[in-house]
Structure 1
Amino acid sequence: MNDFWIILTACLVACSCSILGCFLVLRRMAMIGDAISHSVLPGIVIAFLLSGSRDSLFMMLGASVIGLVTVFLIQWFHQSGVQSDASIGVVFTALFALGVLLVSLYTRQVDLDLDCVLYGEIIAVPWETLQVGGTDIGPKAVWALGLVLTLSVVLISLFYKQFKICAFDPAMAAAVGIPVALFHYLLMGLVSVTTVASFESVGAILVVGMLVVPAATAYLLTEVLSRMIIYSMGIGILSAVSGYYVSVVLDASIAGCMITMAGVLFILALLFSPSHGVLVRKWRQKCGAARTA
């Protein structure tokens, strides 16, 4: 039963991250998840200092707020003339450093397990359960990630056309009356909440892998956004399931094996994709040269 909960949690993380990752890849903002995962550290510490508790709910609320602040600052710096990648680098390093400073100043006598928050340990998911009326209804992570996935699916389904146009051509979206800034912050808000919700399962750092790699792999396989989303979710699930069993065989980190398998699938797509595959293109070039000879 523990295996089931671990695999289910990993699949929920993969699906949640993969859906949003498609839009991030198309908008060339793939590393925004990396920025959020680092910059939320001061939010975690501030939440602890205000609440006096290490309860995951307070940690998630504090981290979510700082995640949205991160997105706002990155966008503001970019609009002020700073390059996008430089904006991301400045904001996440500054906020992460602030978090480290707060930890060193105010939590020296407290066992604040930031390694768990940043790197996660999915094997502990089955033991962190939610109790309702004295009844165990399953792991907290499953419920949290399920709600986040549902929220993302509902919002993207309702505003799919707007998200699509904003991703491919923001200028056209603005011209037809779509509030580009609103949908930008809505997408970034979903990324922030998803990143934070995944802390205690695969960890913030490895969420970056699930945000980027399945979507980038799907991008190599299709040029249709709807298919890209479906493919990325399938690749994410396959990475999660295969990564779990690889970790069992190797007795290694579960989350690490999941991202490793995602990387293997990306390499396979890069080499053998019908439209973008390196080996496929070389084979076609050889065939074309042979015909003209």
Structure 2
Amino acid sequence: MDAFWIILTGSLVAVSCALLGSFLILRKMSMVGDAISHSVLPGIVIAFFIAGSMQSIWMLVGAGILGILTTFLIEFFHQKGRLQTDASIGVTFTWLFALGVILVTYYAGNAHIDQDCILHGEIAYVPIDLMYDSQGNPIGPKAVIILSFVLVLILAFIFLFYKELFITTFDASFASAIGLNTSRWHYALMGLVSLTTVASFESVGAILVVALLIAPAASAYLITTQLKTMLILSSGFGILSSFLGYWLSYLLDGSIAGAMVTVSGFIFAVCYVIVRIKK
């Protein structure tokens, strides 16, 4: 049963990340997820100061606010500071992450909160970290419930606003010409990336989230030119990475997250070889 919950959690994260990652790849902003995963650290620490506990909604709120701030600063430096996108990402997440490290080192040293906790996580603990109803009865792993809600939100967003996302992704100039607010859709998409990263980091770790944001979508990008097909393929690759990654870690008695990332990299390599052979 533990294997089921772990694979399900990995699959929920993988599909959420693959769907959003497809748009990030097409917008040439794939490393935004990496930036957000690092820069949320000061928000988590500040929220810990306010709530005094890691088990608090304030933790998600604090991390979410910093995630949105990160996307705003990246866009601000790119548009107003005339920096290239990659430079904007690098400047923003490094100084926010450094600020978080300083806050952890000097003000939260005695608490169960540190860089390793945020970045690495431990998906193996998912089956024992339960959510309870008002009567004190367990209703399921907390990560599964939260990530299911996040995935439903992402699916609804893409389904309802597919046309707007399609146009603003492939031709921002045309989107502006027909009256679409490209900035609004940009921040909406980045807000979902932030939400997914924040909702996932405690259970699976930010490093796994970053890998699943990029690798499955990049694999699908190699073998199709259709957005809908890319969304479906990337989701399938993400689920396959979670399933095979778990059993690989079981056979090797190693890190589950590390094995999932390894499998996603192997899938990318296979897709690359297939594409090269066809050419």
Bin for the TM-score computed over the shorter chain: over 0.9
SS of the aligned residue for 2:60 comes to helix
Q: Does 1:49 align with 2:18?
A: no
**CA distance, structure 1, for counterparts of residue 4 and residue 60 of structure 2:** 25
Aligned-residue offset at 1:176: 1.0
- Map of 2:124 onto structure 1: 123
1:54 match: secondary structure? coil
What's 2:5 paired with? 5
User: What is aligned with 1:290?
Assistant: none
Contact preservation (8 Å) 1:10, 1:201: no
**1:259 paired residue among 261, 264, 269:** 261
**2:278 counterpart residue number:** 280
Q: What amino acid maps onto 2:43 in structure 1?
A: G
- How many Å separate the matches in 1 of 2:73 and 2:26? 21
- Corresponding position of 2:38: 38
SS in 2 for 1:198: helix
* Structure 1 partner of 2:213: 211
Give the whole-Å Cα distance in 2 for the aligned partners of 1:112 and 1:200: 11
CA distance in 2, matches of 1:200, 1:252: 19
Q: Paired residue for 1:160, among 162, 165, 179? A: 162
What are the within-5 Å matches in structure 2 for residues 135-150 of structure 1? 135-150=137-152
Alignment of 1:74-153 (within 5 A): 74-80=74-80, 81-132=82-133, 133-153=135-155
Structure 2 partner of 1:234: 236
Q: CA deviation at 1:239?
A: 0.6
Cα displacement (A) at 1:55: 1.1
- Contact (CA 8 Å) 2:101, 2:115: kept in 1 or not? no
- Give the residue type in structure 2 aligned to 1:21: G
Alpha-carbon distance in structure 2 between the residues aligned to 1:178 and 1:110: 46
Provide the secondary structure at the position in 2 that maps to 1:130: strand
Q: CA deviation at 1:116?
A: 2.2
Give the TM-score of the pair, scaled to structure 1: 0.93
1:280 CA drift (Å):
2.3
Q: 1:267 Cα deviation (Å)?
A: 0.4
1:289 paired residue number:
none
Tell me how far apart the structure 2 counterparts of residues 114 and 250 of structure 1 sit (CA, whole Å): 26
Return closer, same or farther for 1:109/1:46 CA change in 2, 3 Å cut-off: same
Q: Distance in 2 between matches of 1:97 and 1:112?
A: 15
- Give the 3-state SS of the residue equivalent to 2:202 in structure 1: coil
Amino acid at match of 1:280: K
Q: With structure 2 as the length reference, what TM-score do the two structures score? A: 0.97
Q: CA deviation at 1:200?
A: 2.0
Q: In the TM superposition, what is the alpha-carbon distance from 1:113 to its structure 2 partner? A: 4.3
CA RMSD of aligned residues (A): 1.0
In structure 2, the partner of 1:223 is: 225
- What is the CA deviation profile of residues 130-189 of structure 1, one whole-angstrom value per residue up to 9, with x for unaligned ones? 100222110000011001001110011100000011111110111111111110000000
Which SS does the other structure have where 2:132 is aligned? Answer: strand
Q: Any gaps of 5 or more consecutive residues in structure 1?
A: 282-293
Larger Rg: 1
Quote the offset at 1:57 in angstroms: 2.8
* Other structure's SS at 1:29 match: coil
**1:71 — aligned with what?**
71
Aligned-pair CA distance for 1:56 = 5.0
CA contact (8 A) 2:176 2:182 kept: yes
Structure 2 letter corresponding to 1:51: A
Give the AA of the match of 2:72: F
